[in-house]
């Protein structure tokens, strides 16, 4: 009874369904990258090429999410007792870093193009970007459900949603160029694209760093968790609470719980686990203590 451990898997992503969604998204976006890059080179449009480069990074991002999804469900072994669940957090961090590198490259090229603007085909830019709205929009809808359950999928969802808006911006720039001949709008739109990517990447980077350092997941409040435990019948105190993410979808907790009626300990622990599940904590290890045990030193256990 000293360490009562519980595993629950209700809120995990449907692996087979998400696997199919990711493959469809990868193929769609890869085809669009090839078309967009080809048109971008053909009409010498930096906004199209920068968008194609970002879409290529999205393809890589989707591939990494796919890899992470499979690693998260590999079995544990003698060297990795949690399996490779933590790899999903490392992959989300890698995705954020790759996007930051892409932003830097786009900004450098945009500044160069801003200083030396060249004529581009506004109509070609608009039609190609319009296709991007369709592809990115479809991908965003496909990822919408899964993004609520997985940080990696949420990162891909946010990027695809941003890409949809960016494609709208490129269409607008193409129309402006067609009617006004202001070619300078091309690198300006590229800079706007870079800023949008940066803003959508920041949240992914912040969350990934927090989880990499075993910080408390954003959707969990340690104060609320402590309050829930303390309000459980027969619980008089709780201490040594530690909450961290095992993966981008699974959270864990350890805590010492002081109980006033030792005979009720099994029932109390069982009740606590159900309460913790409602707080999105599905792996909990609870150490029951009797009143008067005075185990408040970090080294007491």
Alpha-carbon torsion, ordered 132, 133, 134, 137, to 10 deg:
120
pTM score > 0.85 for this model? no
Handedness of CA 261, 264, 270, 274 (dihedral sign): negative
Average pLDDT over residues 267-287: 92
Question: What are the chain's domains?
Answer: 6-212 (1.20.1510.10), 217-290 (3.30.70.1350)
Using DSSP, state whether 257 is helix, strand or coil. strand
User: Closest Cα partner for 218 from 231, 205, 199?
Assistant: 205
Arithmetic mean of pLDDT, 263-284: 91
Q: What does the pLDDT look like over 56-98, one tens digit per residue?
A: 877 887 888 888 888 877 788 888 888 888 888 888 888 788 7
pLDDT > 70? residue 214: yes
Tell me: pLDDT of 108 over 90. Answer: no
Helix runs in 83-238, H state only: 87-115, 122-143, 151-180, 185-212, 222-230
Is residue 300 over pLDDT 60? no
pLDDT of the residue at 180: 83
Output the six-digit token pair for 33. 């990258």
* pLDDT tens, residue by residue, 175-209: 888 888 787 887 888 788 788 878 878 888 898 89
The values of phi and psi at residue 97, to 5°, are -65, -45
How far apart, in whole angstroms, are the C-alpha atoms of residue 135 and residue 29?
7
Over residues 11-33, the pLDDT tens digits come to 455 677 888 888 998 999 899 88
Give percent above pLDDT 70 in the chain.
89
What is the mean pLDDT of the segment spanning 280-301? 74
Where does the pLDDT of residue 40 fall: very low under 50, low under 70, confident under 90, or very high at 90 and above? confident
Which residues are bridge partners to 289 per DSSP? 258
Q: Where residue 297 falls among pLDDT bands split at 50, 70, 90?
A: low
Q: Using an 8 Å Cβ cutoff, are 195 and 157 in contact? A: no
Q: What percent of the chain has a predicted confidence (pLDDT) above 90?
A: 22
| pLDDT value for 296 | 53
More confident residue, 270 or 92: 270
Whether residue 72 contacts residue 90, with contact meaning beta carbons closer than 8 Å, is answered with no
* Residue linked to tokens 């976006």: 29
Distance in angstroms (rounded) separating the CA atoms of residues 102 and 94? 12
Classify residue 175 by burial, with Cβ atoms within 10 Å: 0-12, 13-18, 19+: middle
pLDDT at 298 over 70: no
Over the chain, what is the mean pLDDT?
82
Of residues 287 and 166, the one with the higher pLDDT is 287
* Max mean pLDDT range (25-34, 43-52, 122-131, 185-194): 25-34
**Contact in structure between 272 and 286 (CB atoms under 8 Å):** yes
């Amino acid at each position: 009874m000293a360490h009562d451990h519980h595993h629950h898997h209700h809120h995990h992503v449907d692996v087979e369904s998400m696997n199919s969604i990711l493959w469809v998204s990868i193929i769609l976006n890869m085809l669009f990258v090839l078309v967009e890059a080809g048109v971008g080179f053909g009409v010498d449009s930096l906004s199209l090429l920068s968008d194609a480069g970002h879409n290529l990074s999205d393809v890589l991002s989707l591939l990494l999410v796919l890899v992470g999804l499979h690693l998260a469900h590999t079995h544990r072994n003698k060297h990795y007792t949690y399996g490779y669940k933590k790899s999903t957090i490392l992959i989300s961090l890698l995705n954020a870093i790759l996007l930051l590198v892409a932003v830097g490259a786009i900004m450098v090229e945009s500044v160069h193009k801003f200083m030396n603007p060249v004529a581009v085909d506004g109509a070609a830019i608009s039609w190609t970007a319009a296709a991007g709205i369709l592809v990115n929009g479809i991908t965003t809808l496909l990822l919408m459900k899964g993004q609520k359950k997985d940080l990696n999928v949420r990162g891909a969802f946010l990027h695809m949603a941003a890409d949809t808006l960016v494609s709208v911006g490129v269409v607008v720039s193409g129309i402006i160029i067609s009617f006004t001949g202001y070619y300078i709008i091309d690198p300006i739109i590229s800079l706007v694209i870079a800023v949008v990517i940066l803003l959508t990447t920041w949240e992914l980077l912040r969350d990934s760093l927090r989880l990499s350092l075993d910080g408390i997941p954003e959707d969990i409040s340690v104060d609320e968790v402590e309050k829930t435990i303390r309000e459980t019948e027969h619980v008089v105190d709780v201490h040594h609470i530690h909450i961290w993410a095992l993966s981008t979808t699974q959270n864990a907790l350890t805590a010492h719980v002081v109980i006033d009626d030792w005979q009720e300990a099994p029932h109390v622990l069982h009740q606590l686990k159900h309460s913790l599940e409602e707080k999105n904590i599905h792996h909990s290890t609870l150490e029951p203590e009797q009143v008067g045990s005075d185990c408040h030193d970090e080294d007491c256990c």
